[in-house]
Chains A and B, each alone.
Chain A
Amino acid sequence: MQPETARFKELSRAALANDQLQRSMVATGPQFVLKRAKARAALPEFDDLRNAARDIKNHVLAHLDVYLEKFEARVQAAGGHVHWAETAEEARAIILNICAAKKARLITKGKSMVSEEVGLNEALEGAGHTPVETDLGEYLIQIRNERPSHIIAPAVHLRREQIEADFRRVHTDLDPARDLSHIPALVEEARRVLRQNYLDADVGITGANFLVAGTGSAIIVTNEGNGDLTRLMPETHIVITSIEKIVPTLEDASTLLRVLARSATGQDISTYTTLMTGPRRAADPDGPEEFHIVLLDNGRSQVLGTEFQDMLRCIRCGACLNHCPVYQAVGGHAYGWVYPGPIGSVVTPALIGIENAANLPNASTFCGRCEDVCPVRIPLPRLLRHWREREFEQHLTPRTVRSGLGAWAFLAKRPKLYGLAMRLAARFLNWRGRAGRIASLPLARGWTRTRDLPAAQGKTFTELWRERQK
């Protein structure tokens, strides 16, 4: 799907006016926050583990070339194939080739944000394959032809009534008399339909949360078990993932796993954590016969060594979305592409160009809650600010903002003139006040359309202070 990031303002306005979406956000957002807080409180070492997690990822990034080679060699030694993709297009081509060679019809898929990033489903469909998402949330958005609105809870924007309607529309064999008014019935119905898909699939495609260099293992975590059925049942398993997912050892993976689920869902660990190393062995009675890993770059290596490098530590836990007041107000779709929320506003400009995503880094109050909860301590506000700097340097900042800022800076560098201007402003903003407030001000419509402006007290502090000192 083409990025719609340029439409952020428009999309966010629509999101604010969407009652159904607002109800979903209000119902789910606080739950994520509460669950994480409980999990954190239950583990005294949690914040220290975040430091350790950050350090591991920094170590990996500083040695990324060697770790990638190590990982590759281990996968190959275990009988797997490793493919490198510089761009989204290359990643799609590699996977289409494998699927064509396997004459795949039905393809089951585990949840993967990288798959969303490269637009894999569209490509598979275009080539005549039938991809079926098996993570419940991903399945729901697939049948609605939507993007995920959250990186770990793709369908968090939906309510049960919509899902019931979708099932009745898409599951043509569904008995119209069946009661689907409660959530367990909806889950049961999804289980029924997806189970047959697992059994019939020719190829299974999953993502990976971590890649262990020392063992050549790709790790996926799920609560549903869909990732495992996607790996185990078809003849061929493809992992699509990106180069920054490396961790050195199982010990290091342990540390990251400890902070991942707690940050994401407040669990001590996800229900299923699976280490997948190559295809089935000669004596194995089950598991895939062929195993492929596609390592996507897509702009990531260009971030190394820049002021944005810290973003590559991200483990896609979603905590920054859950704690972001902007995300919680507008939901994920307003961001217009694959990765929403604070991390999305940092990553998206790196992947599709700041000129195509200029709104995103600005749609933040820098409240800092994201950085406060990030398990790998990514300084998200700082990275957003760095994007604003790039915009400013490249003259992408809107003209009105630039000239306003210029005029203000001109004054602020000249204290005498500034003092005069402020004295005038103080008087004007006092004179316009009625009952202590200003209901409408031509140059500040952005403010006064929805709120009053408290009137100024009449003189500036500086002039009053100097008067008193005399």
Chain B
Amino acid sequence: MPRVALFPTCLVDVMRPSVGFAAARLIEQAGFAVTVPEGLTCCGQPAFNSGDRKTARALARRTMTALAGFDFVVLPSGSCAGMMVKHYPELFEAGSADHTAALALAARTHELTAFLVHIARVNNLASEFPARATYHDSCAGLRELGIKSEPRQLLKKVAGVTLMEMEDAEVCCGFGGTFCVKYPEISTRMTDKKVERIIASGADTVVAGDLGCLMTMAGRLKRLGSDIRVRHVAEVLAGDYATPPLAEDDGDAA
């Protein structure tokens, strides 16, 4: 059985393990053996985006070491996958051993839904999830990795899911890592525009593939008193409606 390293990402690790378990279940159901390697912390994106290349490089090296030897590396995040696929190779001088390792890792690394569609070639999902769902395209997944149809294709296979497109699904939710705390007013305005679109779509659940975006949207929706539920795509695909949505304490009724 091909071996998949599941990199839960630092946010999933701390905030929402259920996403990691849902991802693991989906990968296993597709016929792969899942390992969560030792020694993983964070992919280094916060350092990279803050201009601290040295730290980013150190963390990239650690991550590359921890992930060596697997057939595939899968992350439930377009943003962290984008970091590893697009930016790790930029961190090292062309021709260096690290650069070669980064390119090799990039070739084996996939965002979860892209992995399920293109590598695992998942045709059917046995799961069920009651939701009128609208999908928000996270920026890095969409524009660094070209992920657009994959999550939608998969969501349509889940019994009980009705997909409803929102306008401007491709526009940023306002998260942007440290941006959301450095420029909270601008970030909140961006989130408000997103929230408007979500509400206008008529969906009862907003789904995305990145926990940063999800926390941002959920945090604002709840502050505004909305009862729209916020879910990671892995949870919906795995049919995990028992776990409460983000920023809620009750699971969804079946």
A residues whose Cβ falls under 8 Å from a Cβ of B: 9, 12-13, 16, 325-326, 329-330, 362-369, 371-372, 382, 385, 387-393, 397, 401, 405, 408-409, 411-413, 415, 418, 422, 425-426, 429, 433, 435-437, 444, 446-447, 449-457, 459-462, 464-466
Among residues 134 to 179 in chain B, which have CB atoms less than 8 Å away from a CB atom of chain A?
139-140, 142-144, 170-172, 174-179
Question: Nearest B residue to A433 by beta-carbon distance?
Answer: B249
Which of A362, A365, A392 interacts with B172 by CB under 8 Å? A365
A405 touching B222 by the CB < 8 A rule? no
14 contacts between A and B (CB under 8 A): A16-B189, A363-B182, A365-B174, A389-B51, A408-B42, A409-B52, A412-B42, A436-B246, A437-B247, A437-B248, A452-B219, A454-B15, A456-B14, A466-B36
Q: Is B190 an interface residue (CB 8 A)?
A: yes
B47 touching A365 by the CB < 8 A rule? no
Q: A residues within 8 A CB of B18? A: 457
Q: B residues within 8 A CB of A389? A: 51-53
A401 touching B16 by the CB < 8 A rule? no
A444 to B171, alpha carbons, bound, how many Å?
A: 25
Among residues 35 to 58 in chain B, which have CB atoms less than 8 Å away from a CB atom of chain A?
36, 38-42, 44, 46-53, 55, 58
A431 to B51, alpha carbons, bound, how many Å?
A: 34
Question: Nearest B residue to A363 by beta-carbon distance?
Answer: B183
Which of A392, A412, A429, A447 interacts with B59 by CB under 8 Å? A412
A435 to B247, alpha carbons, bound, how many Å?
A: 7
Q: B residues within 8 A CB of A446? A: 180-182, 184
Q: Is B206 an interface residue (CB 8 A)?
A: no
Given A325-B190, A450-B220, 17 more pairs with CB closer than 8 A: A16-B185, A326-B186, A329-B190, A364-B176, A365-B175, A367-B143, A367-B172, A367-B176, A368-B144, A409-B58, A433-B249, A446-B181, A457-B15, A457-B17, A460-B13, A464-B17, A465-B36
What's the dominant secondary structure at chain B's contact region? helix
A425 touching B50 by the CB < 8 A rule? no
B residues whose Cβ falls under 8 Å from a Cβ of A: 8, 10, 12-21, 24, 36, 38-42, 44, 46-53, 55, 58-59, 62, 90, 139-140, 142-144, 170-172, 174-191, 193, 214-216, 218-220, 222-223, 230, 243-244, 246-250
Question: Nearest B residue to A456 by beta-carbon distance?
Answer: B15
Q: Which of A16, A367, A390 has the most CB of B within 10 A?
A: A367
Question: Nearest A residue to B76 by beta-carbon distance?
Answer: A461
A392 touching B50 by the CB < 8 A rule? yes
A450 touching B188 by the CB < 8 A rule? yes
- Interface contacts (Cβ under 8 Å), in number, total 212
A461 touching B12 by the CB < 8 A rule? yes
Q: A residues within 8 A CB of B24? A: 465
Question: Nearest B residue to A394 by beta-carbon distance?
Answer: B51
Please name the 8 residue pairs, one residue from A and one from B, whose CB atoms are nearest each other, closest first: A365-B176, A388-B51, A451-B219, A446-B181, A392-B51, A461-B17, A367-B172, A436-B249
B21 CB to nearest chain A CB (Å)? 7
- With known contacts A369-B171, A392-B51, A436-B247, A413–B59 Cβ distance under 8 A: yes
Q: A residues within 8 A CB of B178? A: 401
B243 CB to nearest chain A CB (Å)? 8
A449 touching B190 by the CB < 8 A rule? no
A456 to B8, alpha carbons, bound, how many Å?
A: 15
B219 touching A447 by the CB < 8 A rule? yes
Q: Which of B8, B14, B42, B182 has the most CB of A within 10 A?
A: B14
Q: A residues within 8 A CB of B21? A: 461, 464-465
Question: Nearest B residue to A417 by beta-carbon distance?
Answer: B41
A400 CB to nearest chain B CB (Å)? 10
Q: Which of A16, A366, A392, A457 has the most CB of B within 10 A?
A: A366
Which of A12, A409, A450 interacts with B223 by CB under 8 Å? A450
A365 touching B13 by the CB < 8 A rule? no
A201 to B217, alpha carbons, bound, how many Å?
A: 56
A456 touching B179 by the CB < 8 A rule? no
B15 touching A372 by the CB < 8 A rule? no
A363 to B176, alpha carbons, bound, how many Å?
A: 10
- With known contacts A405-B52, A425-B14, A363–B39 Cβ distance under 8 A: no
A464 to B42, alpha carbons, bound, how many Å?
A: 18
Q: B residues within 8 A CB of A450? A: 184-185, 188, 220, 223
Which of B20, B58, B181, B182 interacts with A444 by CB under 8 Å? B181
Question: Nearest A residue to B182 by beta-carbon distance?
Answer: A362
Q: A residues within 8 A CB of B19? A: 461
B16 CB to nearest chain A CB (Å)? 6
A459 CB to nearest chain B CB (Å)? 6
A447 touching B183 by the CB < 8 A rule? no
A461 touching B8 by the CB < 8 A rule? yes
B234 CB to nearest chain A CB (Å)? 12
A397 to B181, alpha carbons, bound, how many Å?
A: 15
B210 CB to nearest chain A CB (Å)? 12
A460 touching B41 by the CB < 8 A rule? no
A325 touching B171 by the CB < 8 A rule? yes
Which of A12, A385, A390, A415 interacts with B39 by CB under 8 Å? A415
A52 to B191, alpha carbons, bound, how many Å?
A: 36
B101 CB to nearest chain A CB (Å)? 18
A40 CB to nearest chain B CB (Å)? 14
A457 to B240, alpha carbons, bound, how many Å?
A: 14
Q: Which of B50, B58, B62 has the most CB of A within 10 A?
A: B50
A189 to B172, alpha carbons, bound, how many Å?
A: 40
B190 touching A465 by the CB < 8 A rule? no
Q: B residues within 8 A CB of A433? A: 249
Q: A residues within 8 A CB of B218? A: 437, 452, 454
A389 to B54, alpha carbons, bound, how many Å?
A: 10
A366 touching B176 by the CB < 8 A rule? yes
B47 touching A405 by the CB < 8 A rule? yes
A447 to B10, alpha carbons, bound, how many Å?
A: 18
Which of B39, B42, B51, B177 interacts with A391 by CB under 8 Å? B51
A415 to B65, alpha carbons, bound, how many Å?
A: 13
